[in-house]
Amino acid sequence: MQQIIAHRGASHEAPENTLEAFQLGLDQGADALECDIHLSSDGELMAIHDETVDRTSNGSGAVAALSRVELAALDAGSWKAPKWGGARIPTLAEVLDLVPPDRRILIEVKVGQTALPRLKAVLAASKLAREQIVVMEFDLETVIAAREAFPDLEVLWLIGFPSWLPSWTRRAVLKHRIKQAVHLGFDGVNVQDIPQLDADSIAECGTRQLKSYCWTVDDAHRTAQLFKGGIDGVATNRPGWTREQLGGL
Ligand code: G3P
Ligand code: CA
C-alpha cells in the first residue's frame, strides 16, 4: 500500500513530535507517523527534532543535557499556538503506544549509533508488530549498524542533497546511493523531494527490490505524481489535507 506519512505528526496544525500531533495525524487518516528521536541525559529516547529544546519548547539547552523528567516538564506546544499549551515532549515509548495495529511508525534516529541499544530495548517492550516499525537515519554508519541490530525491521537510508549541488550531480548521487543501499542490504531509501526523484528513479528502486519514500511534500499534485511513479510512501506535514486533495485529483 502507498502510504501517507504524518511528518512529525500532523505538524502543520499541531506542535511537531508531540502526542497531540501524532494523534491528530492518525485521526486525519495517516497510514504512518514519522518521529524524530534524541537521547536524554539519562538515556531515554525522546521525540524531538532539534538538538536543543529552544525552538519547540519554553526551555533552553541541549536535549542531551536534560533528563527525561526535565524534558517532559517543558511546554512543547505554546510556541505553535496557545491552545497547544498542554503538549509535552514524549518518550518514544509513549509515541509507540499511540500507534494502532493498522498503522506504522517511521523512527528517525537523530543521534547516530549511540541510540541503538536503547532503541532495541524500547522496541522489544512495545506491543507493535515488526511490520509496523521502520528505523531510518541519514548517517550511513548508523544505517549499517541499524541493519545489523534490527534484521527483522524495515531499515531505510535517508538521503538529502545540499542546495548547491547541481542537478546532474544530484541524479548521479541518487543513482549511486540506490546501488549502495541494495549492496548494503537496506530495505529502502527515503529521499528528499527533488525533481530528480522521478518515475525512472522510483522504478529503479522497484527493479532492485528497494522501497522508496520521499520527504517532505505538502503539495498534493507532487504527491499524486510520486504515487503514480510507484513510490511506497510520502511524508507530509498535512496528512488530512493531502488525503482530501488526492481524493479530488
Ligand atoms: O523523514 C525524513 C525527514 O524528516 C528528514 O528531515 O529535518 O524533517 O528530520 P527532518
Ligand atoms: Ca525527521
Write phi, then psi, for 137 (nearest 5 degrees): -160, 155
Could you give the CA distance from residue 63 to residue 234 in angstroms, rounded to a whole number? 28
Tell me the per-residue pLDDT of 63-81, one tens digit each, with 9 for 90 and over: 999 999 999 999 999 999 9
> Would you say 39 and 11 are in contact if contact means Cβ atoms under 8 Å apart?
no
Q: How far is CA 43 from CA 10, 67, 69, 112, 170, in A?
A: 27, 8, 11, 14, 37
- Kindly identify the ligand whose nearest atom is closest to the C-alpha of 235: 1
Closest C-alpha residue for ligand 1 atom 5: 215
Could you give the CA distance from residue 230 to residue 241 in angstroms, rounded to a whole number? 21
Residue 26 has a pLDDT of: 98
pTM over 0.80: yes
> Would you say 239 and 28 are in contact if contact means Cβ atoms under 8 Å apart?
yes
Strands (E), 41-186: 45-47, 104-109, 133-137, 154-159
3-state secondary structure of 3: strand
| Pocket lining: 215 vs ligand 1, CB cutoff 6 Å | yes
* DSSP letter (8 states) at residue 2: P
ipTM metric: 0.98
**Residue 242 confidence class, pLDDT cut points 50, 70, 90:** very high
> Would you say 103 and 32 are in contact if contact means Cβ atoms under 8 Å apart?
yes
**Residue 171 confidence class, pLDDT cut points 50, 70, 90:** very high
Could you give the CA distance from residue 50 to residue 194 in angstroms, rounded to a whole number? 23
| Pocket lining: 235 vs ligand 1, CB cutoff 6 Å | yes
Tell me the per-residue pLDDT of 9-21, one tens digit each, with 9 for 90 and over: 999 999 999 999 9
> Would you say 45 and 115 are in contact if contact means Cβ atoms under 8 Å apart?
yes
Judged against a pLDDT cut of 80, whether residue 249 lies above it is answered with no
- The Cβ of residue 193 has, within 10 Å, a number of other Cβ atoms equal to 17
Beta bridge partners of 91: 46
Residue 248 has a pLDDT of: 74
Could you give the CA distance from residue 85 to residue 132 in angstroms, rounded to a whole number? 30
To test the ligand 1 pocket, which listed residue (215, 217, 218, 232) has its Cβ within 8 A of the most ligand atoms? 215
- Kindly identify the ligand whose nearest atom is closest to the C-alpha of 108: 2
What is the pLDDT averaged over residues 84-90? 97
- The Cβ of residue 54 has, within 10 Å, a number of other Cβ atoms equal to 13
Residues lining ion ligand 2 (Cβ < 5 A) are 36, 108
Which amino acid is located at 41 in the chain?
A: S
CATH architecture of 3-39+103-248: Alpha-Beta Barrel (3.20)
Residue 150 has a pLDDT of: 98
- For residue 7, give the ligand 1 atom closest to its CA: 4
